[in-house]
């Protein structure tokens, strides 16, 4: 099969790239290469290592081990500027442009063309005009970037890359905020770039786009490169099974609970991002929410909990229609919410363990607004003991606790209100294995006590291991629901990226 063609090294080659973060091996001897005039897609679950790899390539992160070659010559990419000079450009998901400046200024920011000491506006606008015409952007170069659509801004980013003489353009989920027509335009540009002998690294979660546009697909999982598919081998089912193909060998602390009446029902919830969200969760049930990051799972919970506004939709608790407009209302209906970012959204870091645990329950342990300190201490001591929060004392500031213990404090805060419904958003992210298991046990216990538990998790084994039922979301919609028996990594992933 193999042709004995002359050995031609690819334009860019990454070899044995290893990157360690505290406690995690983010990249484990990854090889990756890019050829000019081709589109290579990089796929993998969240946390597989795609972004880390691309950040190393574009000079944002430093690698621990490994080598990078361009045209066979070893290079040392020690910063974004070096990467840029080597012809590597990255277009981020969040656009990095300057909205209050015009198109020409954006393209030439930091490297203005000068005539003497003055900026040569005429030449910059002339060159900008030519560049944007290459990416089919047909607007006046004096237009402020803030006035452009997201798609147009993305094209501007491509134009900027071209002005830098980019040989390799990395596009990190470029289509995630584009409409179908806009995506078509982007694909046309990509094809044109291919003809101009530019290499594209395309990061996306959308299978149909990947299968359509890629010349090669590189699949990553858990920090490793697990496969490279050539044009003929690219097939959706194959990519999915490579993405998730890990063994589930964790045993989850899942216990049987008596699942009874519906505790919470959400009907036709809509916001500007969420479309027609309906689901329910029963007493004693753990309902898993799966999907990729950005699928809208957290947004659903924020709307249900009254943090964000709803455009329409109804919420029923124990069969009764309720109006939740603020978190105060949510608390009244005994809903607890463990948000995804502990430090930003859940904890008062400078406050004591005691103060954090009692925060949502204060009204019930006070008289005429005066806190009953004895009751407060009892409450704190109870949860420190029940949940085995490892802290030198209840007066310790929460910022001095480990991640797992901090998370237990957050969960304690909600257990203290005796919730009927508890929503947990990524409850075990960034937590060590031991604490993770304890939190799983806690969820099982709460379900056994009749609490309706909703768990968002991006870790498929966790979703599969803990949930009685699984709702899968993609781009603001619910794509399907799987029973515990019918769910598998493949079936979830398929719904999550369809």
Q: Which residues bind other proteins (CB under 8 A)?
A: 305, 307, 326-328, 330-332, 337, 339, 344-351, 355, 359-360, 362-363, 366, 369-371, 373, 393, 395, 413, 417
Quick one: 70 or 409, whose CB is closer to other proteins?
409
Would you give the DSSP letter of residue 372?
A: -
Taking phi first (over 0 means left), then psi (-120 to 50 degrees means alpha), and beta for anything else, what does residue 480 get? left
What would the DSSP string read from start to end of 425-452? Answer: ESTTTT--HHHHHHHHHHHHHHHHTT-E
Closest CA to 198 of 172, 154, 159: 159
Closest CA to 355 of 373, 369, 337, 338: 373
In the complex, minimum distance from the CB of residue 397 to other proteins, in angstroms, rounded to a whole number? 10
Quick one: 303 or 330, whose CB is closer to other proteins?
330
In the complex, minimum distance from the CB of residue 306 to other proteins, in angstroms, rounded to a whole number? 9
In the complex, minimum distance from the CB of residue 281 to other proteins, in angstroms, rounded to a whole number? 20
In the complex, minimum distance from the CB of residue 360 to other proteins, in angstroms, rounded to a whole number? 5
In the complex, minimum distance from the CB of residue 354 to other proteins, in angstroms, rounded to a whole number? 11
In the complex, minimum distance from the CB of residue 429 to other proteins, in angstroms, rounded to a whole number? 17
Quick one: 103 or 330, whose CB is closer to other proteins?
330
Quick one: 267 or 375, whose CB is closer to other proteins?
375
List, in order, residues 6 or more apart from 375 with CB less than 8 Å away. 365
List, in order, residues 6 or more apart from 365 with CB less than 8 Å away. 358, 371, 372, 375, 376, 379
Quick one: 27 or 330, whose CB is closer to other proteins?
330
Quick one: 11 or 414, whose CB is closer to other proteins?
414
Would you give the DSSP letter of residue 5?
A: P
In the complex, minimum distance from the CB of residue 364 to other proteins, in angstroms, rounded to a whole number? 10
In the complex, minimum distance from the CB of residue 179 to other proteins, in angstroms, rounded to a whole number? 31
Question: E strands, 10-145, where?
Answer: 12-21, 24-34, 39-43, 65-70, 73-75, 88-91, 114-115, 118-119
Tell me the two tokens of residue 101: 């400046």
In the complex, minimum distance from the CB of residue 15 to other proteins, in angstroms, rounded to a whole number? 39
Quick one: 108 or 414, whose CB is closer to other proteins?
414
Quick one: 22 or 110, whose CB is closer to other proteins?
22
Judging by beta carbons within 10 Å of its beta carbon (0-12, 13-18, 19+), is residue 438 exposed, middle or buried? buried
Quick one: 196 or 363, whose CB is closer to other proteins?
363
Q: φ and ψ at 166, to 5 degrees?
A: -70, 135
What's the distance, CA 464 to chain centroid? 19
Do residues 249 and 419 lie in contact, with contact meaning Cβ atoms separated by under 8 Å? no
List, in order, residues 6 or more apart from 347 with CB less than 8 Å away. 356, 398, 399, 406, 409, 410
Strand-pairing partners, residue 454, are 287, 423
């Amino acid at each position: 099969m193999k042709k004995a063609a002359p050995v031609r090294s690819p334009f860019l080659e990454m070899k044995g790239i290893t990157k360690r973060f505290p406690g995690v091996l983010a990249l484990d001897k990854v090889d990756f290469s890019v050829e000019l005039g081709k589109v290579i897609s990089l796929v993998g679950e969240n946390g597989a290592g795609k972004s880390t790899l691309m950040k190393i390539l574009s000079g944002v992160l430093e690698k621990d081990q490994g080598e990078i070659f361009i045209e066979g010559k070893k290079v040392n990419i020690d910063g974004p500027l070096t990467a840029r000079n080597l012809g590597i450009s990255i277009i981020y998901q969040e656009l990095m442009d300057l909205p209050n400046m015009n198109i020409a200024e954006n393209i030439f920011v930091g490297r203005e063309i000068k005539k003497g000491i003055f900026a040569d506006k005429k030449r910059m606008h002339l060159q900008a005009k030519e560049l944007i015409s290459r990416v089919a952007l047909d607007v006046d170069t004096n237009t402020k970037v803030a006035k452009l659509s997201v798609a147009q801004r993305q094209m501007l980013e491509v134009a900027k890359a071209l002005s830098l003489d980019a040989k390799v353009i990395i596009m990190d989920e470029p289509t995630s905020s584009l409409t179908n027509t806009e995506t078509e335009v982007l694909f046309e540009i990509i094809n044109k770039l291919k003809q101009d002998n530019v290499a594209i690294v395309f990061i996306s979660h959308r299978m149909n786009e990947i299968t359509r546009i890629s010349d090669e697909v590189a699949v990553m999982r858990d920090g490793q490169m697990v496969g490279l598919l050539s044009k003929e081998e690219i097939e959706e089912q194959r990519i999915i099974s490579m993405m998730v193909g890990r063994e589930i060998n964790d045993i989850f602390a899942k216990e049987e609970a008596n699942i009874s009446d519906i505790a919470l029902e959400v009907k036709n919830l809509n916001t500007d991002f969420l479309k027609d969200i309906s689901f329910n969760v029963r007493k004693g049930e753990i309902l898993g929410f799966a999907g990729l990051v950005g699928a809208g799972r957290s947004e659903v919970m924020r709307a249900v909990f009254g943090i964000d506004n709803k455009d329409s939709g109804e919420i029923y608790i124990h069969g009764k229609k309720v109006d939740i407009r603020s978190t105060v209302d949510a608390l009244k209906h005994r809903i607890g919410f463990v948000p995804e970012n502990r430090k930003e959204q859940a904890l008062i870091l400078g406050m004591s363990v005691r103060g954090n645990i009692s925060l949502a329950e204060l009204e019930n342990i006070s008289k005429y607004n005066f806190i009953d300190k004895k009751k407060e201490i009892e409450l704190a001591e109870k949860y420190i003991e029940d949940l085995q929060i490892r802290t030198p004392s209840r007066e310790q500031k929460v910022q001095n606790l480990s991640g797992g213990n901090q998370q237990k404090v957050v969960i304690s805060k909600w257990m203290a209100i005796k919730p009927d419904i508890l929503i947990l958003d990524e409850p075990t992210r960034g937590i060590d294995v031991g604490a993770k298991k304890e939190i799983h046990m806690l969820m099982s216990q709460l379900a056994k006590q009749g609490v309706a538990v909703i768990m968002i998790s991006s870790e498929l084994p966790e979703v599969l291991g803990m949930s009685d039922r699984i709702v899968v979301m993609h781009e603001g919609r619910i794509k399907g629901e799987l029973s515990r028996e019918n769910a598998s990594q493949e079936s979830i992933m398929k719904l999550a990226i369809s």
